[in-house]
Structures are given as structure tokens and as C-alpha cells.
Structure 1
């Protein structure tokens, strides 16, 4: 083909495109489709032509053809915002609501925030989000009704199944353990553990008032608490690839007074808290030479917020015993948010994302200590301790 012939063909394509747009604006949808289709048949259709063809099919009421046209764009450019929106809307019109949800969800990933966008585009995306929200709610309601027909009861049925339903329908997120330093395979992903697994919690809780009596003079002296973040930074230095991930509103807001640190009793505080430490007799404290156990009073000042973060090792679990708890103090692990209650302990997996906030007017203090993960065998505990002790003692040759 000569250069002149090619130019003539390009001109003809441009003329067909212009004629198609004029017909579309005039409401002559059959002509518009014919013009755009002629460009497609000539093998010269680009994204603009496929978009125009999809618009013509939509105007003509042929939503299935509209889907086919816009799919040509998405096959080449899956992140095309306009094409995702058109296909989602067309699928809804065709009654394929579940399929449409995937395209609406992808739009929200592509454009998480509409701020700063032209008003018309922002309005379209806002409408898409509202449509998606209604579809998700409809799906959630339908699934809830169906499983209730099968015998599910929100209050009495399996908690694990209830959580799976909430995750499937978007009412909850999926959280998994993400230890920052050491991962032990095949341990369960449980946010808060059933206290029935830990018979020794009763003796720990029973000592609450004794612990408070030992804590108060230490707290009033005001010289024994240091920034918790600095301690965690020291720990992280011993692990390849780890880093301090905790973030708090101010380092002075989250402080700690250690009774046992890196496996060693801390004088003089340990000697001043014999009842606190005696209450931990029989507790399977994590024991790693040079690193664990540790037992500490953790203080959070009014207004302080510990941002979401994860811990170092999933071979252990963390225990909290609240000692001083003003109103407005809460703690989240994964999807579960709990309020601290004085003398009511819990055990959780700190390698699942968690955060804490003191929205009260007083100081919050909890006793914190780590235990071996109950699903580790004695041999596994021994070997994990040896491995992590070796990490602590290693000094690279320079």
C-alpha cells in the first residue's frame, strides 16, 4: 500500500469516527454502531473507538454487546478506570451482580481517594462506590439468610464459621500472623486465646491487688519507667531484616518498668515486687538465654495511641493483666476490640496486627509477660530457645 493510500485510509477512519460520534449525539444509535464497527473490522480500533462503541451499544440498550466491546479494552489494559466502570455498570444491568462486584472493587483499588479529581469523574466514582456498597450489603444479607436456613445462629453457632462469614462478606478483614523476625510454621492464627487453655491465669488474676500495692509507690516515684520503643529497638537489632515497627503518639506516652528483662531480674524493682513475681510461679514463661523471659509494667498516658504493629516471634504469646484502667482504654487484635478490665487477663498473638489507645483521663498500667506458644512441644521449645539464643550471641566476622 502506498503512503498516499495509507493516508486516505486513515482519513476514512477518522471520518467514520466523527460520523459515529455525530450519530451517537443525534440519537441515531444504529448508524453510530455501524460507523464504529467499520473501524473495528478494518483492524484500526483503539481504546477511544472501543469506548465509543460501548457507549453506542449502551444507548441502544444492548448491554451484552456493551460488555463485549469494553472487554476488548480490559484485555489490553486491565486498569483502565473508565472501562472498569462501564463493565461493572453493564453487568449490574444484566443482572450479573456478583461479577460486577469484582470490577467495582478493582476501581476502589485503582482510585482509593477521589479528592482532587474533576467533579464529574469524582461523582461517577462516588456513585460506583455506593452501588458496590449496596451490592455487598445485598450479598451479605442473602448469605446470612441462607446459612440461617441451614441452621446457623449468630450467637450460638461456631465462632470460627461466623468469622469466616464476616470475612467473606467484607464485615471483617483477614488478619494473619506476620512476625517481624522469626516464623514457626503451622501454628494457628488466633487473635485472643480461650482463657480455658491457661489454668494458671486464675492465680495471676487473684494477685491483682497485691500487684497494684507494689506498683503504686513505684509509679508515684516516677523514675523507674523508660520509653518502651527504645527497648524494642534494641531487641530488633539482633535480627536480620527486622526493624522497629511500633509507633506511638510520643515516646514518653508509652513507657515500661521491667521486673525481668532479657531473662534477668532487674534490681531493685524485682526485689520490691515479690508478690507480683510469685504470682507468675507455674506460668510457662518464654525462656531464651539473653532474651527472655521478660516481665514489665507497661504505662500508657492519657490520650496516647500505639499505632497498629506486629511482634517479633510467633513461637510465643503475650499476656496482659490490667492493673490501672481508666475509662476509655481499648485494645485491638485483628478484628477484635476489647476494653481492659482491672484484674481480667487475656492471652493474644502479638504477631497479628494490634493497637492500643488510652482515651481516658488517667494512666493505664498493665502487667505484660510472654509465654511459650502452647502448641509447641517441649522439644520444639528447647530448639527454638537454642536457635534464638544463637542469634543473640552471634557476632559477624569483620
Structure 2
């Protein structure tokens, strides 16, 4: 920033301290229009605009600050407070929680930030209690009994932070008592052979639809309604691409209609069915030289399946926990993605698998029903 810019910034900050939000906003808007500025300047503009009752403009300014510095604690707290005032409590909660996660790894915090974090913790604690009551009441209204379904009850306690996750480390929801297995054998599932027999037909439909690359999108997408704390190199990148046939439980007609044999082959598969959430069925494409960093899946009540369709020589492997498997075209891989896993493609050609999720075989039909109810309640609460 030039000397003149420095002077205007100091004048703007002084005006803001003195309660002259209009002058501060005018000076700060001029600075941002003149060229690139620091995140702190955008944040100051957000404060000025909120003092002028310019709610949307204030939100736009703090979003610019967070684009530049996604872990800026003052910006995260400002956005959380601002969204809370606007009545967007569920979205605000995500930013309060993000601020607390960032702060946990940040030593020697300024007093004003500590004050904001205390407020964030109070909000999170209050919402956690409301969340627990909501989930429990939803299940009880449907006839749920803790005594009759202790594992579902334990999963509710874990979801509400009353019990720890052990061994498996799903990022969204934990169900207790399931075997700690990285990979499952193909021979354990009676439907596998029939699906594998359709590999050539499914590959033909993949190759046909791949001629229009618009069907593919980054598997890890940027979401402006969530804190951008994911540091993966694949965020927003086509190195890990996805072409969905089903997404969050909804059939993607534009793709599914072009892949009738793939859809028919999946009709005999026990896909994980949770309205509005699962299954996800997609062609997962890993670009040459690309790598998927170690991570954990969202839930441990499902298994992930890879039907390899295009596997170049010396492609690489899928690691789940302490075990690694190479992809072989037409041979299904079945694994628990709540265990840490990663994948890489060391070849010079893309690797493509048909990826889909199925219910864990250890879950009873009744438990699957209760889990579906519970996970729908989790999602309904987040959009309340």
C-alpha cells in the first residue's frame, strides 16, 4: 500500500473508533477500489458497513477478508456474529465452531479475540443442548427406546459429544460396535459377481459420457456457506473429478439416462438409502500424477465400493489404514472409508472407478431404519 493509502487507512480506522462509520466506509471503499488490500482492510470495511445497517454489504466485505485469510479469527467471529444477528443461526454456528478450532491451535490470543471466543463457546454449548434435545425428541416421537436399541442410543450420545469416537474416525457421524476392518472381501457379498460381470458395459457408458467433460466437476467443491478450512490441494481441482449418477440420494437424470446399463447393474446392489443424503454413485476420476491426501469419510455406517473401469499400468494404490490394494479392472474393492485412507495415480493416464456406497452388512434392517431416521433428523436440524 502507498504512503497515501496508509494515511487513508489510518484516517478510516480513526473514524471507525470515533463512531463515524460513514466516513470510515467512504475511505475504506476507496482503498479497496484502488487495488488489492489486506484482509484486515476488508474486515474494517465490514465493521463500518454493519454500523451503517448495510447488512448485505457487510457480509460481502467479510467474505472478501475470509477469501484472503480463511483462518482469520476476527473475520470468522465477525461473520458468525453477523449471521446470528440476521437470524441464520445454523450457518453462524459453523463459523463459531470454525473459530474455536482455529483458536485451539493459536497461542497468545489478543484479549478482544478471547472475548469473542468465549461468546462463540457459549453459543456452541447452547446449540449443542438444543441439538441433543431435538434429535432425541424426533426419535422418541417415532417410538424409539434406548433400552431396546442401545447401539443407536450410543451413537446419539456420540453425536452429541457425550461419548468419544473410538478407532474409526468418521468426520460426521459415528455408529458404535462395528468391526474395525479396512477392506472387506468380494466373496462376502453375493451380488458382487453379477455386478463385476457388467464391467465392460459400464466402461462403455463411462467412455461415452466422458466425451463431454462438462459432466465432470471437482469432487471437493468450494462452498461459500461453509468455512474454507480444508487445505487439500484437490479443493476445487479437476485432478479429482466426479461425474454423479446419484448425488446425496438424488438421481442425476442427465447422467443416469445416458448410463442405463450402469443403473440396471446397480439395482441388485444394497445401496445405502437415506433420503436427501445417500447413496452417492459416481464415476471417480483421478488425473495423472494426482494424489488424494489421507482423510476420513463422513460416517462409518456404510462401506465404499470401487469398481475399477480404467486402470493404467503402474497406476498406484488405495491405502486404507495399514493395508493397500491395487486397482484391477473389473474386481471390486470394498472398504471402510471412516478409517484413514488415501490414493494416488502415478501413471500418465487417468484412473477411473465407479464409486458407490452400501450399508455395512453388520447393521440389522431395524438399525438401518433407525439410522436413516436419525441421520435425516441431523440434516433437518442443520437446515432448520
TM-score by length of structure 1 reads 0.52
Q: Cα–Cα, structure 1 residues 245 and 202, in superposed 2: closer, same or farther, change >3 Å?
A: farther
Corresponding residue SS for 1:293: coil
CA shift for structure 1 position 244:
4.8
Unaligned 5+ runs, structure 2: 1-165
2:306 corresponds to: 320
Distance in 2 (CA, whole Å) between partners of 1:350 and 1:210 is: 27
**Equivalent residues in 2 for 1:163-202 (5 A)?**
176-202=167-193
Q: Which runs of 5+ in 1 are unaligned?
A: 1-174
Structure 1 runs of 4+ aligned residues shifted over 6 Å read none
1:212 aligns with 2:203: yes
1:384 aligned partner? 371
* TM-superposed deviation, 1:329: 2.4
1:333 and 1:352 in contact (8 A); partners too: yes
- Alpha-carbon separation, structure 2, partners of 1:352 and 1:361: 28
How has the CA–CA distance of structure 1 residues 276 and 357 changed in structure 2, closer, same or farther, with 3 Å as cutoff?
Answer: same
Distance 1:243 1:309 in 2: 14
Query: What residue is the counterpart of 1:109 in the other structure?
Result: none
Cα–Cα, structure 1 residues 288 and 198, in superposed 2: closer, same or farther, change >3 Å? same
Partners in 2 of 1:194 and 1:309 — Cα distance? 22
Question: In structure 2, do the counterparts of structure 1 residues 300 and 393 end up closer, same or farther at CA, with 3 Å as the change threshold?
Answer: same
Deviation at 1:203, TM superposition (A): 1.1
Corresponding position of 1:230: 221
Q: 1:371 — aligned with what?
A: 358
Instruction: Tell me the CA shift for residue 277 of structure 1.
Output: 1.1
TM norm structure 2: 0.54
Aligned-pair CA distance for 1:248: 3.2
Structure 2 distance, partners of 1:246, 1:178, is: 18
Alignment equivalent of 2:261, drawn from 268, 275, 291: 275
1:297-316 alignment, distance < 5 Å? 297-316=283-302
CA distance in 2, matches of 1:242, 1:203: 42
Trace 1:142-157 onto structure 2 (pairs within 5 A).
none
Shift of 1:360: 0.3
Native 8 Å contact 1:285 1:371 kept in 2: yes
Q: Please name the residue that 1:284 is paired with.
A: 270
Given the superposition, is the C-alpha separation of residues 212 and 315 from structure 1 closer, same or farther in structure 2, using an over 3 Å criterion?
same
Q: Provide, for residues 26-57 of structure 1, a one-character-per-residue CA deviation record: whole Å limited to 9, x for no partner.
A: xxxxxxxxxxxxxxxxxxxxxxxxxxxxxxxx
Distance 1:396 1:321, change over 3 A: closer
CA contact (8 A) 1:245 1:310 kept: no
Whole-Å separation in 1 of the counterparts to 2:231 and 2:372: 23
Cα distance, 1:396 vs structure 2:
6.4
Aligned-pair CA distance for 1:280: 1.1
Aligned positions of 1:51-70 closer than 5 A: none
- Number of the residue aligned with 1:164: none
Q: CA RMSD in A?
A: 2.4
Contact 1:250 1:304 in 2 (8 A): no
Distance 1:247 1:383, change over 3 A: farther
Task: Report the CA distance between 1:276 and its aligned residue.
Answer: 0.5
- d(CA) in 1 for partners of 2:241 and 2:351? 11
Pairing partner for 2:240 from 237, 254, 267: 254
Note if contact 2:274-2:372 (Cα within 8 Å) is conserved in structure 1. yes
Residue number in structure 1 paired with 2:279: 293
Distance 2:236 2:278 in 1: 26
Q: 1:265 aligns with which of 246, 251, 254?
A: 251
Q: Are 2:360 and 1:360 equivalent residues in the alignment?
A: no
SS of structure 2 residue aligned to 1:350: coil
8 Å contact 1:180–1:242 — kept in the other structure? no
CA distance in 2, matches of 1:247, 1:312: 19
